[in-house]
């Protein structure tokens, strides 16, 4: 009799335990879902700024309820010429958009071969104790308009080898399944004495008095071991110098340099001379093209609008075609190099063909790759896992959009992703509507502002007289939109009788509505002259 009672009691406890776990999980999910109970949205600007040795770092507050809703963090770095963003990795997948400038970057994948080797001529010009030439993993070029993908935990660095500043905007997908820490964006620096790029509440900012006091207390407690820990704010600074010296078989002075104990070196440092690394050389034509692109970038919109009013694209079209062809040749060289590296790794083991040769960047500015195009209204280009396969791993995608004067991007919603919109140029009147039909945003969106649009919230954009240009990051590698207007819109796909009864319309009104949407074409619309006049009168 005792055994059945014991079994029954055990089952009861098991049921209670399972119900408790399920309830706790449901509570956690509910807490996450409650992050998106937003009554209004705001256009956000960076509220934290760090002056680095060779640049500036600006970040948006990751604790803002809008960023909590979509589960992301955003930081913008301005790197001066000859500036180096120190090697680091993050706790979440990252998409980086190159807003301005050009340079080189490296990404280190553990287990991949060092396929780039320093030349003998370069070696002879340097003082070396060993005759072994430096070898390292692949180095890639980047330029304005590139989207660069960095998986979580992959060490990367950037170097500005151009003549003007590099501006790089990064989005970290904190809610991604690759991040198993917490909801705080974290940069793990391997070098320097970096500051916390987000200055988050509840965490001691690196370089702050409180942080120094905490680290100082840790050093005093660890003093009996004869080491100094935590001064450099990088990964090496937390370990005992003696242990690291044994691991790397070098003296402790070298280790102190690794730990950043000798001097204050921030997140972005200035390279002495020029960075000497093995890399495929840029041709003179390519460098001249990049420099010309930088000089003409500010005049691009004005020229495009002027030529569209003349009814053609003229010189602008020729330059865009030339840029497209040069970009395609560069990407083709990169693909051939990837194939060559895969064949030369000493036999196939599956890693070289998939991980070590991944394409990490794609240019999203190229007009010829536009997915939606209206010569009178503008264009939209999308970057997803179909054209950059690494995004399938990151579960992220991007969109570049350009609206001409007074053009409209018809109302639509993102079916399977949140959207984070960053304004590159110009202004637009933007409206966002939630599931209750309430307008949660109705304001002008300006250059360098960010607007988050939660999944399924409908949005419409109308460009100002200056035009409007943006890049949007989306939290799905195959983000899809549902338009309310245009040839492929939701309304046009619904039977006429259903529309007539749903909206209390006459059949002739429904027919006119559908015919007009067919004539409109895609979701980028150029307003008619009469509508522009009505706006002017209003």
Alpha carbon separation from 34 to 29, 39, 129, 253, 405 (Å, rounded):
8, 12, 60, 52, 38
pLDDT of residue 331: 55
pLDDT of residue 405: 93
| Rounded (5°) CA angle 140-143-145 | 125
Is residue 98 within 8 A of residue 144, CB to CB? The reply is yes
**pLDDT tens-place string over residues 107-116:** 999 888 887 7
Structural domain contains residue 425: no
Question: What confidence tier does 356 reach under pLDDT thresholds 50, 70, 90?
Answer: confident
When comparing pLDDT for 59 and 8, which is higher? Answer: 59
- Residue 32 pLDDT > 70, yes or no? no
Structural domain contains residue 136: yes
Structural domain contains residue 240: yes
Query: How far is the C-alpha of 42 from the C-alpha of 471, rounded, in Å?
Result: 17
Structural domain contains residue 69: yes
- Residue 253 pLDDT > 90, yes or no? no
pLDDT of residue 317: 44
Q: Give the CATH number for residue 224.
A: 2.60.120.10
Which tokens hold the place of 424?
């590159």
Strand 458-474 to strand 103-108: parallel, antiparallel, or no bridges (unpaired)? unpaired
Structural domain contains residue 513: no
3-state secondary structure of 326: helix
Number of domains composing the chain: 1
Percent of the chain with pLDDT over 70: 69
DSSP 53-104: TTEEEEE--TTSHHHHHHTEEEEEEEE-TTEEEEEEEESS-EEEEEEE--EE
Which residue's structure tokens are 């994948």?
Answer: 109
DSSP 468: E
- Residue 82 pLDDT > 50, yes or no? yes
Region of 67 on the Ramachandran plot (φ > 0 left; ψ -120 to 50 alpha; else beta): alpha
| From 230-234, 261-265, 307-311, the region with the lowest mean pLDDT | 307-311
3-state secondary structure of 459: strand
**CA count, 13 A, side-chain hemisphere, 56:** 9
Q: Please report, for the chain, how many H helices and E strands are present, in that order.
A: 15, 25
Question: What confidence tier does 522 reach under pLDDT thresholds 50, 70, 90?
Answer: confident
Q: What is the pTM of this model?
A: 0.79
Average confidence score pLDDT of the chain: 79
Going by C-alpha positions, the residue among 461, 467, 377 that lies closest to residue 419 is: 461
The residue length of the chain stands at 538
Query: How far is the C-alpha of 276 from the C-alpha of 481, rounded, in Å?
Result: 45
Is residue 149 within 8 A of residue 95, CB to CB? The reply is yes
* Residue 190 belongs to domain spanning: 48-270
Question: What confidence tier does 120 reach under pLDDT thresholds 50, 70, 90?
Answer: low
**pLDDT tens-place string over residues 144-166:** 999 999 999 999 999 999 889 99
When comparing pLDDT for 438 and 136, which is higher? Answer: 438
pLDDT of residue 1: 53
**pLDDT tens-place string over residues 373-395:** 999 999 999 999 999 999 999 99
When comparing pLDDT for 306 and 22, which is higher? Answer: 306
CB atoms inside a 10 Å sphere around CB 399: 22
Question: What confidence tier does 304 reach under pLDDT thresholds 50, 70, 90?
Answer: low
Is residue 467 within 8 A of residue 379, CB to CB? The reply is no
pLDDT of residue 227: 38
Which tokens hold the place of 216?
């100082």
Question: What confidence tier does 137 reach under pLDDT thresholds 50, 70, 90?
Answer: confident
Structural domain contains residue 162: yes
Which residue's structure tokens are 């308009």?
Answer: 145
- Residue 16 pLDDT > 90, yes or no? no
- Residue 10 pLDDT > 60, yes or no? no
Alpha carbon separation from 41 to 38, 151, 355, 370 (Å, rounded):
7, 29, 39, 29
- Residue 12 pLDDT > 80, yes or no? no
Question: What confidence tier does 52 reach under pLDDT thresholds 50, 70, 90?
Answer: very high
> What average pLDDT does range 318-323 have in this prediction?
46
Structural domain contains residue 183: yes
3-state secondary structure of 519: helix
Which residue's structure tokens are 């600007």?
Answer: 45
Structural domain contains residue 515: no
């Amino acid at each position: 009799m005792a055994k059945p009672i014991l079994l029954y009691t055990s089952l009861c406890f098991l049921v209670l335990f399972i119900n408790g776990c399920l309830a706790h999980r449901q509570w956690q999910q509910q807490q996450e879902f409650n992050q998106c109970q937003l009554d209004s949205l705001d256009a956000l600007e960076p509220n934290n700024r760090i002056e680095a040795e060779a640049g500036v770092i600006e970040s948006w507050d990751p604790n803002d309820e809008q960023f909590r809703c979509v589960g992301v963090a955003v930081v913008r770095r301005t790197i001066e010429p000859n500036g180096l963003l120190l090697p680091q990795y993050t706790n979440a997948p990252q998409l980086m958009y190159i807003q301005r400038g050009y340079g080189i970057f490296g990404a280190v994948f553990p287990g991949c071969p060092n396929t780039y080797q320093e030349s003998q001529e370069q070696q002879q010009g340097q003082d070396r104790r060993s005759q072994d030439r430096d070898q390292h993993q692949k180095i890639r070029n980047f330029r304005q308009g590139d989207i660069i993908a960095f998986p979580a935990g992959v060490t990367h660095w950037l170097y500005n080898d151009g003549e003007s500043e590099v501006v790089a905007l990064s989005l970290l997908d904190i809610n991604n399944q690759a991040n198993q820490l917490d909801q705080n964006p974290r940069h793990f620096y391997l070098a320097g004495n970096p500051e916390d790029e987000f200055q988050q509440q509840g965490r001691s900012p690196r370089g702050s008095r409180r942080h120094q006091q905490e680290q100082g207390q840790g050093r005093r407690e660890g003093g009996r071991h004869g080491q100094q820990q935590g001064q450099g704010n990088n990964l090496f600074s937390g370990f005992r110098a003696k242990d690291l010296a044994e691991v790397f078989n070098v003296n402790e002075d070298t280790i102190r340099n690794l730990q950043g104990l000798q001097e204050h070196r921030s997140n972005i440092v200035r390279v002495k001379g020029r960075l000497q690394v093995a890399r495929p050389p840029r041709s003179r034509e390519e460098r001249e093209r990049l420099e010309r692109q930088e000089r003409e970038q500010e005049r691009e919109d004005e020229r495009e609008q002027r030529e569209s009013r003349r009814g053609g694209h003229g010189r602008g079209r020729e330059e865009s075609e030339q840029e497209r062809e040069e970009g395609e040749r560069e990407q083709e060289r990169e693909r051939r190099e990837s194939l060559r590296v895969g064949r030369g790794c000493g036999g196939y083991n599956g890693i070289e063909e998939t991980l070590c040769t991944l394409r990490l960047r794609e240019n999203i500015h190229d007009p010829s790759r536009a997915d939606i195009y209206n010569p009178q209204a503008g264009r939209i280009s999308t970057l997803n896992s179909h054209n950059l396969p690494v995004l399938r791993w990151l579960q992220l995608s991007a969109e570049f959009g350009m609206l001409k004067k007074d053009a409209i991007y018809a109302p639509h919603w993102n079916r399977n992703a949140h959207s984070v919109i960053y304004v590159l140029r110009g202004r637009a009147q933007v409206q966002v509507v939630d599931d209750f039909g309430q307008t949660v945003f109705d304001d002008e969106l300006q250059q360098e502002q960010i607007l988050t649009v939660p999944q399924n919230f409908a949005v419409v954009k109308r460009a100002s007289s200056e035009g409007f240009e943006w890049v949007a990051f989306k939290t799905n590698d195959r983000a899809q939109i549902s338009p309310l207007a245009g040839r492929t819109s939701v309304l046009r796909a619904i039977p006429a009788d259903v529309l007539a009864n749903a909206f209390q319309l006459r059949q002739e009104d429904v027919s006119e509505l559908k015919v007009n949407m067919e004539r409109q074409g895609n979701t980028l619309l150029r307003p008619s002259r009469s509508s522009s006049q009505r706006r002017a009168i209003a």
